[in-house]
Structure 1
Amino acid sequence: MEKQIVIIGAGASGVAAATKLVSNGFSNVTILEAGNRIGGRINTIPFGANVVDMGAQWCHGETGNVVYEMAKDKNVLAHKTEKHQSDGYRYVRSNGEEIPVELSKKITALIMDIMGDHYEEERKSYGSSGNFYAAKFKKALESDEFKEVDSELAHECMEVFHRAVNSIDGCDTWYELSTNYHEYEECDGDYKMNWKDKGYATVLDLMQNKIPDAKNPQSVIDVIPLTKFNKEVVKVCYNQPGAPAKITCKDGSSYSADHVICTVSLGVLKERCLSMFEPLLPLWKYNSIDGMMIGTVDKIYLEFDKPFWSENWQGFSCLWKLEQVKEVREDPVNGDWLEGISGFYPFNPLQPNVICGWITGKLACKMEEKSDVEVKNGAEKVLRMFLRHLDIPDAKKMVRSTWHSNPLFRGSYSHFVLKAEALETNNRQLAEPINDSNGKPVIQFAGEATSPKYFSNVHGAVDAGWREAERLINLYK
């Protein structure tokens, strides 16, 4: 098939679309990637004794997960172990006081119960997930089962719950989340499978058939020859009668295309959609971009010469007391971003000297503004504040993600918010193509944010890339 197809972005969705098109006979496929690597928000880098994932980390579930289906017979996934499950059972206060383990487990179980068993009830309610969750949590803590939880501890635990939701959903606050996300589905099965010794970048090899499968051998589809790197797209001109779309890059180069598949992140779309497309996108499409939201979830990896923690340590979730909140807010060096750290956890059995701290939302964005030295010192300060009974050395190395400040992403992953509900828009409209006068798609949209069922996940991004490739395959079949 000689139709010219240009894919903007070499993330999971762009790679998925390209490999699907090439394997179905399309010979004129070009990927324009603004950065210098493939993968997008899949970014596995060397660190410590092995690798770490700066973005996507776990294979989230099994049933209905296209990523798991590609990987399940290739011996590349490892199920979580008790030692490294990082479910945050240990709650530690910022004054060094540790909450009894059994109480921490009860509170964690309550949080999981509210988010899981009340799922259908939440979907039938109206308003924000924050209001729903907070009311359920407050009522439960007032019962006799939690009579040992006083008002101060209840507030601290509510904030643990809040930060957990922000991390899972990628939002700045749970009060912006809408309960009305009816199509979203979680894949049943192990939700925290890791990628053994190769990180999430393994999925890029899986899509290109670079991991042998004796039962079902397939031809390798290498996307690197299809990809032009450092090609930041600044303009897409379309809907000129009888003419192909014209894509112009920041370096002045331009490309023609019968079909454009745009897989850039929702953050980039929100920032650039008014200047990027000519003519302007129709209002219904603009509303879908404006209404949906993308937040920031960042990681801070610390490597030590040797563990200062015990062999069975599972990490801890932070309970911030007002005294320490005041202390960090008044710290002229580190600033208030420290209170955004929600916990530190062991990372991977292959990384015995590495722990990972998590931070979300506006405070994650503030963290990104700091230098590497400031972030390292700040993370060490938080560790010493919470784990006062331990002699914590300086970390050997530190690396952190910066998804919000990176102009090629402007966030970590998408979520469904009240604004989208008010504008009567959703992921499905975000996925709708812009057609020409003959009804043929000229501008198509993929990426995790365009997946109605699996937005915020890599398997949603892959599924969306395949969806747009199949749209063209079916068109020319």
Structure 2
Amino acid sequence: MKLERCIVDTSAVDSTLECPKVVIVGAGMAGLSAADWLVRCGITDVTVIEATDRPGGRIQSCWLDGSVVELGAIWIEGACPANSVFNLACREGLIVKEDNKWKGEATSIYTTSQGGEISPLVNNTAYHSFKLIEDQAAELYGNANTDFGSLEDFISERVQQELKVFPENSRYDAARAMTGMTNELRTHLGADLKDVSANMYGSRSELPGGRVKVPSGMIGVLAPLIRDLPECIIKYRKPVVKIMWEAELKSENQSGSKRKEENDVITADYVIITASLGVLKKKVDELFVPSLPDDKKVAINKLGFGFVDHIFYKYKGPFWPRGEGSVRLAWSKDELTERSSDWLRSIGAWEEDVEQEGVIALRVAGKRETDCVEKMSNKKLMEEAWRLTRTFTGDPLLTHPVAAICSKWSSHPFFLGAKSYLAVGSTVADQLALGAPVPSDPCEIPALLFAGEATCPGHHATVHGARLSGIREAERIVKLTERLRGPPRDQKETLRLSA
């Protein structure tokens, strides 16, 4: 007799159990992944509260004169089955060919502010020297016996050592190329390298497969997460004002659950908080009643949150052959010392979007620089782009772009920055502390759970890190529900959100 194989979903909660009520703060990748996982496991009493009028958080695809551009996350970092965001994109048919992969700096030319091009031989040698330095910086992770200070300290010293290997007649160009690479690393991290921990630089795991873009827009990876959620589960334009989480706060005058009469009060058994680290840094003392434990607040303060903006320009009749429009900017060290007076000097490259004809992108990093560009009109941004491209090509007759758009992550009150990094003085232990539930005592039932890319050691500052963290906290609730045989008792009456 033929036996049919029985597949049992071991992650699903016993259907006879009462579901806990879960509120998720934030409809970004972490929040939506948590909601999707909970619903798939049979916990359906879920509400997602989103402060803005859209899902996605720091994923934001939009149109620029008929072209799709990414104001938020641009890449899926790690085009392989080990990356669940890559798997989402593949299942949706969003990634269909290898051409979407990032080619990297090695395939680009480096030009100077005098409009000259650094020779390919010097360029390639400098590139490989700098990559060696980056690899050596990454290897510092785990060396607890020596404090190497900031990433700037380590890289600057190693660059000077590597430059001595170059022939004297090419040393100046090699220095400019590596200074440009240092500047581009700054835009990738979103922080001045003097603020980034050298010891912790290698803590992030790189998934194989390289970076890959979603040509139709990164927002598409959210579709399978939203599609199967119960109707009206996401509440938009609902910024959270207060979260009351301790059992002792039972009286209305203590709870602080209403700041204004029109605020909604929502009760819950568990709250998953996916607010950005930037928001937590600013509002940690006013958002939670009572205050969060000291170790949580210390972690929030010690970890770094970077400032990055993307500016996209559209050209009619672009000045480059398609596929050859990316240019790396080889600033001199002296030019970068004047960065505070000219935001363009924080630019490491302009990059062609090969999937969108006539589009180039700039990345701006640093609080001062992002504050500057976020206040500019699109007309001013286009004038500045023309100034930059004219300077580095040496061609005074280049056309102006016809359209521009700039992200505003630094000034947006619900983000206050772009992505986390391990600052000087912080460690992976701070990421773990940030992601720990509250209360964290194993003998107590947690009320507050924390997700988001900054809580995911090894994968911080990535979309898949955000997704992993959301699933992690959803699974924590699933296991608690199984252990408690339902929701926690008496917690719902005291765990309140005012939105």
TM-score (norm 1): 0.87
Structure 2 counterpart of 1:204, which letter? L
1:435 aligned partner: 439
Length, aligned pairs only: 454
In the TM superposition, residue 448 of structure 1 has moved relative to its aligned partner by 0.3
Partner Cα distance (2:398, 2:241) in 1: 48
In the TM superposition, residue 147 of structure 1 has moved relative to its aligned partner by 4.0
1:384 aligned partner: 390
**Unaligned segments of structure 1, at least 5 residues:** 211-219, 330-334
Partner Cα distance (2:259, 2:402) in 1: 40
Pick from 103, 109, 131: which aligns with 1:112? Answer: 131
Aligned ranges for residues 228-377 of structure 1 at < 5 Å?
228-241=235-248, 252-321=263-332, 336-349=342-355, 351-362=356-367, 363-377=369-383
Q: Are 1:131 and 1:175, in contact at CA under 8 Å, matched by a contact in 2?
A: no
Pick from 53, 64, 79: which aligns with 1:47? Answer: 64
In the TM superposition, residue 131 of structure 1 has moved relative to its aligned partner by 1.9
In the TM superposition, residue 123 of structure 1 has moved relative to its aligned partner by 4.6
Partner Cα distance (1:2, 1:243) in 2: 23
2:3 aligned partner: none
**Structure-2 change in CA distance of 1:31 and 1:176 (3 Å):** same
Q: Are 2:137 and 2:202, in contact at CA under 8 Å, matched by a contact in 1?
A: no
Structure 2 counterpart of 1:149, which letter? S
1:201 aligned partner: 219
Pick from 232, 241, 255: which aligns with 1:225? Answer: 232
Partner Cα distance (2:193, 2:440) in 1: 39
Partner Cα distance (1:195, 1:249) in 2: 42
1:283-342 Cα offsets, whole Å, 9 max, x none, are 10100100101111211100011211123414111123589779997xxxxx52122222
Partner Cα distance (2:52, 2:421) in 1: 25
**Unaligned segments of structure 2, at least 5 residues:** 1-17, 483-499
1:139 aligned partner: 161
Partner Cα distance (1:128, 1:5) in 2: 41
Point out the more displaced range, 358-367 or 153-162: 153-162
Structure 1 counterpart of 2:394, which letter? R
1:68 aligned partner: 86
**Structure-2 change in CA distance of 1:189 and 1:355 (3 Å):** same
Q: Are 2:309 and 2:409, in contact at CA under 8 Å, matched by a contact in 1?
A: yes
Partner Cα distance (1:288, 1:100) in 2: 46
TM-score (norm 2): 0.84
1:247-289 Cα offsets, whole Å, 9 max, x none, are 6687522211111110000000001001111111111010010
**Structure-2 change in CA distance of 1:442 and 1:326 (3 Å):** closer
**Structure-2 change in CA distance of 1:249 and 1:41 (3 Å):** farther
**Structure-2 change in CA distance of 1:75 and 1:233 (3 Å):** same
Q: Could you say what secondary structure the match of 2:241 adopts?
A: strand
1:85 aligned partner: 103
Is 1:99–2:118 an aligned residue pair? yes
Identity of aligned residues (%): 28
1:363-408 Cα offsets, whole Å, 9 max, x none, are 2232223232222211221111111236311211000111111111
**Structure-2 change in CA distance of 1:324 and 1:179 (3 Å):** closer
Q: Are 2:439 and 2:445, in contact at CA under 8 Å, matched by a contact in 1?
A: yes
Structure 2 counterpart of 1:150, which letter? R
Is 1:149–2:170 an aligned residue pair? yes
**Structure-2 change in CA distance of 1:248 and 1:185 (3 Å):** farther
Q: Could you say what secondary structure the match of 2:56 adopts?
A: coil
Partner Cα distance (1:452, 1:22) in 2: 26
**Structure-2 change in CA distance of 1:110 and 1:257 (3 Å):** same
Structure 2 counterpart of 1:454, which letter? H
Q: Could you say what secondary structure the match of 1:267 adopts?
A: helix
1:190-210 Cα offsets, whole Å, 9 max, x none, are 2x21113x21112101334x5
